[in-house]
Amino acid sequence: MSAQVPASARALAAAWAGALATVAFLAAPNAFATLATAEAGRYVARLFVLESWMSLVLALLLLFAEQRRARGAAAQGIGSVMSGATLLLFGTVFCTVLGHFGIEPMMAAARAGQGAWSFGALHAASTVLYAVKGMLVIVLAWRWARPGAGPLG
């Protein structure tokens, strides 16, 4: 088994980074620029639900691919099963799960005037998690795009 990152995994990581950037820099701001605030908020909330599920699916697919690659590399005495790419992918899962299943329900409660945290504070936390996830995916895509990317993923 080769220690090289499969081309399909490289392409998925790059596409994922592009999708996250598109949502953050084009889709969400454009919704608020063209729709009424309440309508834009509903649209963007739905967009982030879809993005969260997409991120979980892509992270799991890439984790399976990376674990297969890392096991093969470790069997050849190159690196370990717990690669840098594995840690980056676990980080994306953490950010996605915390943001979507932890913070998003709290934001809904804050909109209704419930909970200890304000909507603004929760929105800021959600934005930070999304930015961290985006950076993790960009680093992963960059590492895998390097010529000869392989042993340490």
Positive or negative, the CA dihedral 128, 134, 137, 141 is: negative
Token output for 129: 């998690």
Report how far apart, in Å, the C-alpha atoms of 29 and of each of 26, 34, 141 are.
6, 9, 25
Token output for 118: 């304000």
In a domain, 27, yes or no: yes
Please tell me the distance from the alpha carbon of residue 34 to that of residue 43, in angstroms, as a whole number: 11
Please tell me the distance from the alpha carbon of residue 53 to that of residue 55, in angstroms, as a whole number: 5
In a domain, 153, yes or no: no
Coil/strand/helix, residue 118 = coil
Domain range enclosing 77: 7-145
* Among candidate residues 141, 104, 115, 112, the one with its CA nearest the CA of residue 5: 141
pLDDT confidence of residue 151: 43
In a domain, 97, yes or no: yes
In a domain, 70, yes or no: yes
pLDDT in tens, the chain (153 residues): 346 888 899 999 999 999 999 999 999 999 999 999 999 999 999 999 999 999 999 999 999 999 998 888 888 888 788 889 999 999 999 999 999 999 999 998 998 889 899 999 999 999 999 999 999 999 999 999 886 654 444
In a domain, 95, yes or no: yes
pTM assigned to the model? 0.89
In a domain, 152, yes or no: no
Question: How many structural domains comprise the chain?
Answer: 1
- Total H helices, total E strands in the chain: 6, 0
In a domain, 2, yes or no: no
* CB within 8 Å of 103: residues ≥ 6 apart: 122, 125, 126, 129
In a domain, 122, yes or no: yes
